[in-house]
Structure 1
Amino acid sequence: MLSKLAVFLYVVLQSAEPVRVLVTGAAGQIAYSLLFGIAKGDVFGKDQPITLILLDITPMLPVLDGVVMELQDCALPLLREVIPTDKEEVAFKDLDAAILVGSMPRREGMERKDLLKANVAIFKSQGAALEKYAKKTVKVLVVGNPANTNCLIAAKSAPSIPKENFSCLTRLDHNRARSQVAMRCGVPATQVKNVIIWGNHSSTQYPDVHHCKVNMAGSDLACFDAVKDDDWLKGAFISTVQQRGAAVIAARKLSSAMSAAKAICDHMRDIWSGTPEGEFVSMGVYSSSNSYGVAEDLIYSFPVHIKDKQWKIVDGLAINDFSRGKMDATAAELVEERDTAVTFLSA
């Protein structure tokens, strides 16, 4: 006989309105690692039903059919419906959340401006589809690279959706930085908090641990005091995080799909549920108020608190000359990317 709690949970699950979640590039590696986590409740909550919409290009529809079969075969209680499609008008309709994973990858011989031009076309179209079909409250996470600038183009192409609803993924870099410090100190990554990724999701990003705390033997220590190796923190640590994606590709011959999927889940879960008191995370968000001297009209990674599905940049952190130089360098790259992309946007 079912307990009263089981009956209550069953009634709640049956009556709750499903969250409509889009994943683009849904036949790809990252999505394959991501979809199970979303569907089993790791992102939007253990009592929140899900409708998954899977968008990819037409030649990938047979692969999507296989992904749908696997999701069905998982027999997940929260998964109400899976909709595979190659049509934007189907994919973007009435969305609560959009995770834009698919983008044009850089190919051999392709210049950066060619990559930007191809992706401007994709994210201009997807932004317009968000504008036309999605809820105005939709939360949009851009993963496909160059993620910051792709996110900006999508936001500009959806003018009636608040720019604060758009963010890009730098949580993978955040997790990498946290893990590097944890391994160096011999503690679990959960005991490292408040690392920061500033700027672009590229090799110019700045992993900053000047405000990081490491819990060791029950006490929170400043990261520099816990690690006790300033040269490593200002040198090899930064370059390791900056180049980690390339290192994974060199070793695995494939991109970092598993860790990217985990970071996407972390990012969207925090948007939905908020960040713990006293902790902040890194997200690429819209720069509109010259925070930390960063130019306006960029998607730039900042430390943020999240509450009630709204992010707020953490104000008042001291910035030394070492950090200032690296923050400015990655901002300059983003300004150049934006200015190039905007010429294609208006073409």
Structure 2
Amino acid sequence: MSSLSLFQRIVVRCGLTSCRSMKKQPVKIMVTGAAGQIGYALVPMIARGVMLGSDQPVILHLLDIPPAAEALNGVKMELIDAAFPLLKGVVATTNVEEACGGVNIAIMVGGFRRKEGTERKDVMSKNVSIYKAQASALEQYAAANCKVLVVANPANTNALILKEFAPSIPAKNITCLTRLDHNRALGGIAQRLNIHVSDVKNVIIWGNHSSTQYPDASHATVITQAGEKSVKELIADDKWLHDEFISFVQQRGAAIIKARKLSSALSAASAACDHIHDWVLGTPKGTWTSMGVYSDGSYGVPPGLIYSFPVTCNKGEWSIVQGLRIDEPSRAGMDATAKELIEEKTLAYSFLD
């Protein structure tokens, strides 16, 4: 500690910070679509340490399209005004090359959203163009071993396009967000059992971040005073688990739009923090999460898709949980969502010719 100034030593003794946080190099984190609703909710969470911990300094690279430049600058102004101790710099830009420069983590929130009357193929075509360009910029300008999380829908297929056009980024470093669905599943079970959500673990979201996703509670457990018990045993209602629970998770986003007149923002931002936090810092022992990752053929899922699996994380690497028993209803649900992803992939690749 002798290398620290007198002031720094006093601060450390008072418990206001730590030697470790002073010595850590800032992590550069890019957020695209940063002037939008999710971005506005997400960036203060990152700056406060929710994503990477209370001792990890960060530099934020905020990217949005030129029409949003003024709003983006407003976000930067608010971040400065909030005086976050961990925030060591903010770059706000509409230039994708500048935004990607040296970033260690890229959170891809920006994309072309489907509006009323917009054809699915038009949404896919525009997102293919966006993610092809952003992938090329990441390929050229991001730090080596950059970790990428795609949030913008269609998240799985956008991530797949990004992978195709950023070949130097390892396939294991490109993921998409299904943690929001995972968290919704945890919350739905907790509400049903009238318990705290932190007592529920090991739900699974299989497949696509869409209404075909397969939320699976068959391996989920609850921590009780008597030890862990299965969710299936505690709920004791197969109809609820196979019908209402699955529908609840699949349709939760639509229900929030109906209630707010706007899509999920706070919960999506929180889930993005959870995703990166567990990926970088690790999942608790005996607990898994759900991540959209590049399929290696596990559980009969066709290789070459970005598909949501149960994963554990350790030392910055994820691994698919192996050996889980798959019953017939689960198999059918997993195959149905894989079929949709194959169709999405075919459509997306048709715009690359």
Fold in common (TM above 0.5): yes
1:323 aligns with 330
Give yes or no for the alignment of 1:271 onto 2:271.
no
User: 2 CA distance for matches of 1:343 and 1:140?
Assistant: 24
List 4+ stretches of structure 1 deviating above 3 A. Answer: 3-15
Distance 1:293 1:10 in 2: 47
SS at structure 2 position matched to 1:269? helix
Cα offsets for 1:46-73 (capped at 9, x unmatched): 1111100000001111101111111111
Report the AA paired with residue 311 of structure 1.
W
Q: Which residue of 1 aligns with 2:267?
A: 259
Whether the 8 Å CA contact 2:156–2:209 is kept in 1: the answer is: yes
> Using the alignment, how far apart are the partners of 2:92 and 2:11 within structure 1?
37
Q: Does 1:241 align with 2:249?
A: yes
1:74 aligns with 2:62: no
The corresponding residue for 2:240 is: 232
**Residues 165-193 of structure 1, C-alpha deviation per residue, up to 9 Å, x if partnerless?**
00000000000001000111111000000
Which of residues 305, 329, 337 in structure 2 aligns to 1:298? Answer: 305
Match of 1:109 in 2: 117
- Percent sequence identity over aligned pairs: 53
Shift of 1:6: 4.8
1:182 aligned to 2:195? no
Name the counterpart of 1:151: 159
Match of 2:199 in 1: 191
In structure 2, distance between residues paired with 1:285 and 1:4: 40
Structure 2 Cα separation of the partners of residues 185 and 61 of structure 1: 46
Number of residue equivalences: 345
**Residues 294-320 of structure 1: per-residue CA shift (max 9 Å, x gap):** 001000000000001000000000000
Partner of 1:213: 221
**1:131-151 C-alpha deviation (Å, 9 max, x unpaired):** 111122100000000000000
C-alpha distance in structure 2 between counterparts of 1:199 and 1:72, whole Å: 39
- Matching of residue 126 in structure 1 with residue 129 in structure 2: no
Q: Distance in 2 between matches of 1:327 and 1:12?
A: 44
Query: 1:88 Cα shift?
Result: 1.0
Q: RMSD of aligned C-alpha atoms?
A: 1.4
What is the CA–CA distance in structure 2 between the aligned matches of 1:162 and 1:4, rounded to whole Å?
A: 39
1:237–1:157 Cα change, 3 Å: same
Structure 2 CA distance, aligned partners of 1:15 and 1:217? 41
Contact (CA 8 Å) 1:178, 1:192: kept in 2 or not?
Answer: yes
> Cα distance, 1:218 vs. partner?
3.8
Give the aligned residue type for 2:125: K
Is it true that 1:311 corresponds to 2:318 in the alignment?
yes
Q: Secondary structure at the match of 1:243?
A: helix
1:85 to 93, 96, 105: 93
Contact residue 287 and residue 296 of structure 1 kept, 8 A: yes
Q: CA deviation at 1:45?
A: 1.7
The answer to whether the 8 A contact 1:187-1:216 is kept is: no
Contact between 1:94 and 1:135, CA under 8 Å: does it hold in 2?
yes
Matching residue of 1:95: 103
Given the superposition, is the C-alpha separation of residues 17 and 109 from structure 1 closer, same or farther in structure 2, using an over 3 Å criterion?
A: same
CA 1:183–1:87 in 2, change beyond 3 Å: closer, same or farther?
A: same
Amino acid at match of 2:221: K
- CA–CA separation in structure 1 for the residues paired with 2:21 and 2:54: 10
Contact 2:18–2:55 under 8 Å retained in 1: no
Matches of 1:218 and 1:4, distance apart in 2: 41
Letter in structure 1 aligned against 2:81: D
* Aligned counterpart in structure 2 of residue 344 of structure 1, from 321, 329, 351: 351
Corresponding residue to 1:333 among 334, 337, 340? 340
Q: Which residue of 1 aligns with 2:4?
A: none
The CA deviation at 1:241 is 0.5
1:5 Cα deviation after fit: 3.3
SS in 2 for 1:103: coil
Output the CA distance in 1 between the equivalents of 2:340 and 2:264: 24
Whole-Å separation in 1 of the counterparts to 2:264 and 2:12: 44
Letter in 2 for 1:343: S
